[in-house]
C-alpha cells in the first residue's frame, strides 16, 4: 500500500516510491529501500516535501523520541514513545525484522536512531522467540544476538544510546533485552577475566537468561502481591527449564549454561536454584545477576513501584550488600555515573 510521508519523517528501512519520469531527484532508481540518513538528507535537500512509501515493502509508522516537529506516527499522535511497526508481509521464517541487521550494518546511521531501531527490533525478536521458543528460533536468535553484541562492543556511542532507551515494562521480552544490553556492557570491562569465554555465547546467554519463564504459568509470573511458597517453587524452576530448552535446541554452551543457571544465585548463598556461594558462581553469572536485579528494580513491576537509577543503585548498595560481586556492582555504578 502506498502512503504519503513528509520527507523529514522518513526513516531507514522505508521503501520509497519516487515519481516516475521526475528527472530532478538525485537517485538513480525511482524505487528503493532507504539505507542511511544520508539518503534521507539527499531527499530533503532535493526540495521534496513529501514522498510515497510502499508499506508492503518496507518499514512504516516509525517515530523516534528525538523526532522533530511533525514526526508523529501514522495515527498522528505523538506520545513520546518509541514505536515501530513492521509490515504485515514480514518474512514468516525470519525471527528478526530486517531493519535490525540493516541498522547494525549502516555506518552512516546516527547513534540515536540506530539505537532506536536496534532496541525495538530486539524487542520484536525476543517477543517472537518467547512466543515460539522452537529450536530453530533459538538458533536464529543466537545468530542475531551475535550481531547486536558486536554493535554494543564496537560502537560505544550507540551502546550508550541503547542504555538510555532501555524502557521498562512487565513484559519478559523487554526485561531480556534490557538485561542483555546491560550485561554485555558490564562484560566489556571484565574482558580480561573472560578471556577464555566466547563473548558472543555470553551475549546469547544474557539475552536468553529468562527463556525458561515461558514454561512457568504466566499468572504466577505477573502476579500482583507476594508469591506463596508453592508459587516461588514454580518460579525457581525457570533456570533449569531454560537450560533444558537451549539444550534441546542443540545450542547449549558452557557460557549459556552458566548464565541461565546462575543468574539468581547470590554470593551469600541466598539465591537459587542451587544455593551456590561466592566462588562457586562464575563471573558471567555474577554479571547477569547484577543486571537482572537492576532492571527489576527500575522496571514497572506488578508488585513494586519503579525506582530511578539513583534509587536502584542506592538500594542495591544498602539493602543488598553482600549479595553481588563487589567489582561488578562498582562497574554498574560507573556505567550509570553522569558523563
Nearest to 234 by CA among 207, 213, 248: 213
Nearby residues of 153 by Cβ (< 8 Å), 6 or more positions away: 159, 184, 188, 199
Phi-psi region of 35 (alpha: psi -120 to 50; beta: other; left: phi over 0): alpha
DSSP 87: -
In the complex, least distance from residue 238 CB atom to Fe ion, rounded to whole angstroms: 6
Which residue lies nearer to Fe ion by CB, 15 or 173? 173
Residues of span 16-75 touching Fe ion by CB under 5 A: none
Half-sphere exposure of 222 (CA within 13 A, CB side): 8
Q: What are the Cα distances from residue 314, in Å, to 21, 164, 175, 246, 258? A: 63, 19, 21, 35, 27
In the complex, least distance from residue 311 CB atom to Fe ion, rounded to whole angstroms: 19
In the complex, least distance from residue 264 CB atom to Fe ion, rounded to whole angstroms: 6
Which residue lies nearer to Fe ion by CB, 13 or 285? 285
In the complex, least distance from residue 307 CB atom to Fe ion, rounded to whole angstroms: 16
CA distance 161 to 210: 24
Which residue lies nearer to Fe ion by CB, 37 or 301? 301
The residue to which cell 514522498 is assigned:
51
The residue to which cell 578471556 is assigned:
195
Which residue lies nearer to Fe ion by CB, 14 or 235? 235
Which residue lies nearer to Fe ion by CB, 12 or 183? 183
Site string for Fe ion, 122-141 (x = CB under 5 A): --------------------
Biggest CA-to-CA distance, the chain? 72
In the complex, least distance from residue 106 CB atom to Fe ion, rounded to whole angstroms: 31
CA distance 266 to 297: 16
* 64 touches 112 (CB < 8 A): yes
Which residue lies nearer to Fe ion by CB, 292 or 331? 292
Nine-digit cell string for 86: 513492521
In the complex, least distance from residue 259 CB atom to Fe ion, rounded to whole angstroms: 10
In the complex, least distance from residue 118 CB atom to Fe ion, rounded to whole angstroms: 20
Number of residues that bind Fe ion (CB under 5 A): 2
Residues of span 241-300 touching Fe ion by CB under 5 A: 292
Which residue lies nearer to Fe ion by CB, 79 or 247? 247
* 159 touches 152 (CB < 8 A): yes
Residues of span 186-215 touching Fe ion by CB under 5 A: 210
List residues near Fe ion by CB under 5 A. Answer: 210, 292
Amino acid at each position: 500500500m502506498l502512503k504519503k510521508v513528509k520527507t523529514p519523517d522518513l526513516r531507514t528501512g522505508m521503501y520509497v516510491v519516487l515519481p516516475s519520469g521526475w528527472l530532478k531527484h538525485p537517485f538513480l532508481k525511482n524505487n528503493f529501500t532507504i539505507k542511511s540518513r544520508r539518503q534521507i538528507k539527499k531527499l530533503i535537500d532535493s526540495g521534496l516535501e513529501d514522498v510515497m512509501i510502499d508499506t508492503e515493502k518496507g518499514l512504516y509508522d516509525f517515530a523516534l523520541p528525538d523526532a522533530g516537529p511533525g514526526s508523529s506516527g501514522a495515527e498522528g499522535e505523538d506520545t513520546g514513545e518509541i514505536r515501530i511497526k513492521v509490515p504485515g508481509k514480514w518474512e514468516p521464517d525470519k525471527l528478526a525484522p530486517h531493519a535490525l541487521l540493516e541498522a547494525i550494518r549502516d555506518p552512516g546511521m546516527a547513534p540515536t536512531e540506530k539505537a532506536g531501531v536496534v532496541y525495538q527490533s530486539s524487542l520484536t525478536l525476543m517477543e517472537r522467540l518467547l512466543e515460539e521458543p522452537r529450536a530453530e528460533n533459538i538458533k536464529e536468535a543466537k545468530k542475531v544476538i551475535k550481531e547486536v553484541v558486536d554493535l554494543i562492543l564496537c560502537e560505544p556511542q550507540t551502546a550508550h544510546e541503547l542504555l538510555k532507551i532501555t524502557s521498562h515494562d512487565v513484559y519478559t521480552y523487554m526485561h531480556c533485552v534490557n538485561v542483555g544490553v546491560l550485561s554485555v556492557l558490564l562484560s566489556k570491562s571484565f574482558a580480561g577475566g573472560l578471556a577464555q569465554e566466547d563473548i558472543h555465547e555470553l551475549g546469547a546467554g544474557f539475552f536468553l537468561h529468562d527463556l525458561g519463564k515461558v514454561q512457568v504459568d504466566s499468572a504466577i509470573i505477573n502476579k500482583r502481591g507476594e508469591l506463596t511458597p508453592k508459587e516461588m517453587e514454580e518460579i525457581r524452576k525457570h533456570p533449569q527449564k531454560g537450560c533444558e530448552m537451549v539444550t534441546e535446541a542443540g545450542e547449549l554452551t558452557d557460557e549459556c549454561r552458566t548464565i541461565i543457571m546462575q543468574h539468581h544465585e547470590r554470593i551469600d548463598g541466598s539465591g537459587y536454584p542451587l544455593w551456590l556461594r561466592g566462588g562457586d558462581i562464575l563471573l558471567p553469572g555474577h554479571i547477569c545477576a547484577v543486571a537482572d536485579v537492576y532492571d527489576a528494580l527500575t522496571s514497572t513491576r506488578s508488585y513494586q513501584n519503579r525506582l530511578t537509577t539513583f534509587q536502584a543503585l542506592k538500594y542495591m548498595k544498602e539493602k543488598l550488600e553482600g549479595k553481588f560481586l563487589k567489582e561488578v556492582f562498582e562497574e554498574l555504578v560507573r556505567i550509570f555515573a553522569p558523563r
